[in-house]
């Protein structure tokens, strides 16, 4: 087991602390810029919003860890294998001369060869190294639109789709569009995935928090959202949008259809854009819940383009495929006026286009092999194997957290995380304060130091003041889970024994 030297751990605590609590420096930028320093750009001269924004998932605490990464939703970095069919098609598209060779038929499935031809025929000059249309290759958007329509039972339009390098740039695009100053606000769940807080900060707006109710399995309650909306408005903040992450990160809940209808009605009534983060749509592990897109829900309520503005963020990084490094995503934009649409289009043109491999994968995940295709059986076995293993890992870790003294834990209905609450003894809170560390960060550092297990302190996602959490992914390989369970349990027992009153 890897152990950290005491001074190393101390340094880690202190540097993590700095990143969490430091304020942006407000020294005279002009003076710094005019100095004769040969490196004129310093942290005093750069954009203060960059200094302010925080991204806990990859914070200092992570940088020094060696083993058992439970901090990052990055499946293939933990040994998850890519889906063979997707990679076969991608390889053939990237090196099309393979398609003319006899050996290729022995090495690749017939439907991957056929699919690669289809995709290459959609790409002008079959040039996967050329820029595409700024929204993404039209033929790929057509097939993604067909996949969305098959998923939802409602029409999807290829012109509403913007293919992006993952969901993250799409979120930035929308924040860039909506936010003009700190007087503009976006309603965001707390806890939230810090892409939202970081992006709102970077674009100079205000995050209007609404708290998910931990007691009801991180339920999203309209009364709470309404209260926070009104509080923000009374402070003169113009609130433009409501972010909903479904399934939730870090909270793992899957919304019920009734709840989704309430949310749609609320946005319609209040004139809010519904920013629906649906990157975990394939990651649902319980039989009594099902993913429904907000587009499907709103259309099934009879609402069309003119009734509600809705943006759905999708990604190839999550699901059973976990192709984080290939950077592919798709944003479906509905219910904006033609002139606003033009401006969204303009932002997309500034970015030229997203990478073509990511675009191809985005097309494939929405249109995987079908029954009767040569790859269908192996594809289904790979997909189901990954999803059922994730469900088992989620359950084992959930049961482990629940068994620990002073810990309660959500059910991971979906997504890739557990977000247990730890009722830390007062003595531990005081010990954390003595080293100027947030109590959950203190716990996470002790855990890392003792076991090599890396989790993210709850403060990185936001939590009700006075409550403490950690986020732990369910992604480590199944054969490593018993070691995690044993180490975590032993650590927690000794931590509680040390600090128990």
Question: Using the rule CB under 6 A, which residue among 17, 206, 253, 317 binds ligand DCS?
Answer: 317
Which residue, 241 or 450, is less far from ligand DCS as judged by CB? 241
> Nearer to ligand DCS by C-beta: 55 or 376?
55
398-417: contacts with ligand DCS (CB under 6 A): none
Selected from 45, 104, 260, 315, the binder of ligand DCS by CB under 6 A is 315
Give least dist CB 323 to ligand DCS, A.
9
Exposed / middle / buried, residue 256 (Cβ in 10 Å: 0-12, 13-18, 19+): middle
- Alpha carbons 211 and 415: distance in angstroms, whole number: 19
195 binds ligand DCS (CB under 6 A): yes
Q: How far is the CB of 304 from ligand DCS (least distance, A)?
A: 27
258-297 residues in contact with ligand DCS (CB under 6 A) are: 277, 279
DSSP 69: B
Q: Are 66 and 452 in contact (CB under 8 A)?
A: yes
Position among 59, 329, 335, 414 found at the interface with ligand DCS (CB under 6 A): 329
What's phi and psi for 457, nearest 5 deg? -60, 145
> In this chain, which of 186, 245, 418, 454 binds ligand DCS, going by CB under 6 A?
245
Nearest-approach distance from CB 314 to ligand DCS, in angstroms: 8
- Asked if 463 interacts with ligand DCS (CB under 6 A), we say no
**CA pair distance 363, 121, nearest whole angstrom:** 14
Q: Of the candidates 57, 89, 116, 161, which one interacts with ligand DCS according to CB under 6 A?
A: 57
Report if residue 251 touches ligand DCS, rule: CB under 6 A. no
DSSP string, 220-286: --HHHHHHHHHHHHHTT-EEEEEEEESS-TTT-----HHHHHHHHHHHHHHT-EEEEE-TTTT-B--
* Beta carbon of residue 280, minimum distance to ligand DCS (angstroms, whole number): 7
Strand 456-457, strand 470-473: pairing: antiparallel
**CA–CA distance, 419 with 468 (Å, rounded to integer):** 10
Establish if 193 lies at the interface with ligand DCS (CB under 6 A): yes
Residue 250: CB minimum distance to ligand DCS, A: 7
Whole-number Å distance between alpha carbons of 310 and 232: 22
Q: Are 274 and 310 in contact (CB under 8 A)?
A: yes
Binding segment for ligand DCS (CB under 6 A), chosen from 164-172, 256-264, 339-347, 439-447, is 164-172
User: What are the backbone dihedrals phi and psi of residue 40, each rounded to the nearest 5 degrees, phi first?
Assistant: -65, -25
Q: With binding defined as CB under 6 A, does residue 459 bind ligand DCS?
A: no
312 binds ligand DCS (CB under 6 A): no
Nearer to ligand DCS, 11 or 87 (CB): 87
Residue 37 CB, nearest approach to ligand DCS (Å): 36
Give the span between the Cα atoms of 348 and 274, in whole angstroms: 20
Query: Count of residues binding ligand DCS (CB under 6 A)?
Result: 17
Task: Answer yes or no whether residue 136 interacts with ligand DCS by CB under 6 A.
Answer: no
In whole angstroms, what is the distance from residue 183 CA to residue 368 CA?
44
418 binds ligand DCS (CB under 6 A): no
Q: Is residue 394 within 8 Å of residue 442, measured between CB atoms?
A: no
Give the length of the chain: 501
Q: Can you tell me which of 56, 89, 167, 397 binds ligand DCS, judged by CB under 6 A?
A: 167
Residues 67 to 96 in contact with ligand DCS, rule: CB under 6 A? 72-74
332 is a contact residue toward ligand DCS (CB under 6 A): no
3-state secondary structure of 117: helix
Binder to ligand DCS among 12, 273, 308, 324 (CB under 6 A)? Answer: 324
Judged by beta carbon, residue 113 or residue 454, the one nearer ligand DCS is 454
Residue 181 half-sphere exposure, CB side, CA atoms within 13 Å? 4
Write out 452-482 in H/E/C secondary structure: CCECEEHHHCCCCCCCCEEEEECCCCHHHHH
CB of 327 to ligand DCS, least distance (A): 7
Shortest reach from residue 74's CB to ligand DCS, in Å: 6
The one segment of 148-156, 165-173, 357-365, 418-426 that binds ligand DCS by CB under 6 A: 165-173
Q: Which tokens in the block code for residue 395?
A: 């359950």
What the block records as the tokens of 56 is: 């806990």
* Distance of closest approach, residue 197 Cβ to ligand DCS, in angstroms: 12
Cα–Cα distance, 49 to 80 (Å, whole number): 36
191 binds ligand DCS (CB under 6 A): no
Using CB under 6 A, list all residues that contact ligand DCS.
Answer: 57, 72-74, 166-168, 193, 195, 245, 249, 277, 279, 315, 317, 324, 329
């Amino acid at each position: 087991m890897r152990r950290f030297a005491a001074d190393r751990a101390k340094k880690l605590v202190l540097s993590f602390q700095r990143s969490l609590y430091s304020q942006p420096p407000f020294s005279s930028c002009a003076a710094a810029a005019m100095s004769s320093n040969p490196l004129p750009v310093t942290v005093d001269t750069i954009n203060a919003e960059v200094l302010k924004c925080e991204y806990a998932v990859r914070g200092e605490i992570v940088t020094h860890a060696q083993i058992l990464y439970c901090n990052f939703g990055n499946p293939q970095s933990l040994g998850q294998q890519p889906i063979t069919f997707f990679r076969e098609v991608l390889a053939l598209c990237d090196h099309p001369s393979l398609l003319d060779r006899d050996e290729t038929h022995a090495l690749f499935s017939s439907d991957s060869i056929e699919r690669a031809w289809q995709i290459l025929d959609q790409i002008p000059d079959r040039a996967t190294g050329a820029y595409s249309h700024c929204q993404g290759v039209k033929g790929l958007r057509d097939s993604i639109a067909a996949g969305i329509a098959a998923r939802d039972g409602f029409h999807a339009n290829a012109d509403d789709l913007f293919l992006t390098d993952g969901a993250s740039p799409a979120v930035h695009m929308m924040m860039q569009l909506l936010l003009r100053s700190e007087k503009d606000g976006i309603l965001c769940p707390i806890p939230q995935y810090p892409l939202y807080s970081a992006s709102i900060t970077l674009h100079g707006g205000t995050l209007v928090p609404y708290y998910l109710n931990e007691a009801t399995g991180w339920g999203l309650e309209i009364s709470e959202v309404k209260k926070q909306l009104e509080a923000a408005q009374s402070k003169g903040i113009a609130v433009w949008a409501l972010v909903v992450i479904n399934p939730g990160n870090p909270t793992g809940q899957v919304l019920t259809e009734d709840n989704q209808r309430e949310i749609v009605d609320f946005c319609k009534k209040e004139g809010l854009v519904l920013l629906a983060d649906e990157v975990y749509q394939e990651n649902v592990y319980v039989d009594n819940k099902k993913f429904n897109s907000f587009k499907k829900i709103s259309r099934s309520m009879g609402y069309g383009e003119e009734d509600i503005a809705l943006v759905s963020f999708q990604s190839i990084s999550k699901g059973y495929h976990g192709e984080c490094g290939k950077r592919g995503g798709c944003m479906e934009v509905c219910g904006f006026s033609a002139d606003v649409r033009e401006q969204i289009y303009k932002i997309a043109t500034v970015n030229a286009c997203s990478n073509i491999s990511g675009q191809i994968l985005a097309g494939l995940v929405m249109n995987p092999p079908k029954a009767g295709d040569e790859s269908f059986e192996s594809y289904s076995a790979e997909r189901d194997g990954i999803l059922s293993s994730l469900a088992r890992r989620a359950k084992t870790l959930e049961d482990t957290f629940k068994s620990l003294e002073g810990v309660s834990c959500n059910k991971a209905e979906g997504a890739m995380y557990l977000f247990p609450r730890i009722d830390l003894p007062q003595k531990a809170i005081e010990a954390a304060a003595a080293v100027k560390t947030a109590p959950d960060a203190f716990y996470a550092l002790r855990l890392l130091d003792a076991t090599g297990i890396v989790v993210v302190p709850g403060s990185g996602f936001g939590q009700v003041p006075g409550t403490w959490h950690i986020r732990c992914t369910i992604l480590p390989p199944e054969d490593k889970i018993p070691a995690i369970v044993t180490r975590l349990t032993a650590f927690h027992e000794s931590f509680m024994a040390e600090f128990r009153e």
